[in-house]
Amino acid sequence: MPELPENETIKRGLQKYVAGHKVQRVDVRLPKIVKEGDVKKLVGGKMVRARRFGKSIVMDFDNGWSVASHIKLTGQWVYDGPNKPKRAKVSEEYVDGLPNKYSHVIFYLDCGGKLYYNDVRQFGWLRVVKTDDVPNIKFIKELGPEPLDGLTLDKFREILKGRNTKVKVLLMDQKKIGGVGNIYANDALFLARIDPRRPAKSLSGREVEKLYKAIDEVLKRGLKYGGATELNYVNALGEEGAYQDHFLAYGKEGQPCPRNCGGTFKKITLGGRGTYFCEHCQK
């Protein structure tokens, strides 16, 4: 699932390879993907900045317009053009013959390059708004503070305080905390040795601190590995991430706990999502 590290990795790639290029033409093959505004506003604009807000990515153009996006489960932003490094190992499994049948929006750039918005399940969206109006996009406006940027321990404490909601469900609530999704919530709770089913308010001061640090730790680890290619995440060059080879708890159902505590990873459903934890050492 593309979460904070995956979206940050994509954003960095867009900044590196697409910024500075001007849009010559946009081909919208599946109109419903563009939930707001008109991509024609971007034509003639030069991409000057890529930004990320939680799991959403925004590109700003020098004509005062921006395109905001949310790739949800299966969206991809993939660039192909003259300045793409030769060493890029484009995923054959997930980026096959661009444009492919999942390429719903294609940006043709003045450098001769192309920027593809691909999305198998079509859950993702694009919104074209004035750059000044980006902060008013509902998802961005209501987004909670982000780990690695703005979410202090005090704020985190405040968010958990008095809430009866299961701690994992709370971690994944984008209005409370921005950018944490299922994979990193599972891994952070494992690292902090906290049972995902516990009410948020039941955590001790020490546990809150441990969890806060664990979230930072797993997100940084995810970033280091260029994100996790689960479903069909790829970076802005179409390359796979590697964090999937370093999951701590996510997807480990039936496997023995690496702490050798004698426990085995269980899978349950919380808030409608697969939840993996070691019953023995996550208390």
Partner DNA sequence: AGCACTTCCTGATAGC
Partner DNA sequence: TGCTATCAGGAAGTGC
172 binds DNA (CB under 7 A): yes
Helix (H, G, I), strand (E, B) or coil at 214: helix
8 A C-beta contact, residue 218 and residue 147: no
Amino acid at 177: I
Q: In the annotation, is 6 catalytic?
A: no
Selected from 70, 104, 114, 168, the binder of DNA by CB under 7 A is 70
Q: What is the DSSP letter of 253?
A: T
Buried b (16+ CB within 10 A) or exposed e, 43-72: bebbbbebbbbbbbbbbbbebebbbbbbbb
Phi-psi region of 34 (alpha: psi -120 to 50; beta: other; left: phi over 0): beta
Least separation in angstroms between CB 201 and DNA: 7
Least separation in angstroms between CB 67 and DNA: 17
Minimum CB distance to DNA smaller for 84 or for 197: 197
Q: In the annotation, is 87 catalytic?
A: no
136 binds DNA (CB under 7 A): no
Least separation in angstroms between CB 169 and DNA: 6
Minimum CB distance to DNA smaller for 171 or for 257: 171
Residues touching DNA: how many (CB under 7 A)? 31
SS3 content of the chain, % helix, strand, coil (to 5): 30, 25, 45
28 binds DNA (CB under 7 A): no
146 forms beta bridges with: 149, 150
According to DSSP H, which parts of 87-149 are helical?
138-141
8 A C-beta contact, residue 239 and residue 89: yes
Selected from 46, 198, 273, 280, the binder of DNA by CB under 7 A is 273
Residues 179-238 touching DNA, rule: CB under 7 A, are 181-182
Selected from 162, 204, 206, 254, the binder of DNA by CB under 7 A is 162
Q: What is the DSSP letter of 45?
A: P
123 binds DNA (CB under 7 A): yes
164 binds DNA (CB under 7 A): yes
8 A C-beta contact, residue 130 and residue 73: no
Q: In the annotation, is 258 catalytic?
A: no
Q: In the annotation, is 55 catalytic?
A: yes
Minimum CB distance to DNA smaller for 175 or for 259: 175
Amino acid at 98: L
122 binds DNA (CB under 7 A): yes
Known catalytic residues are 2-3, 55, 273
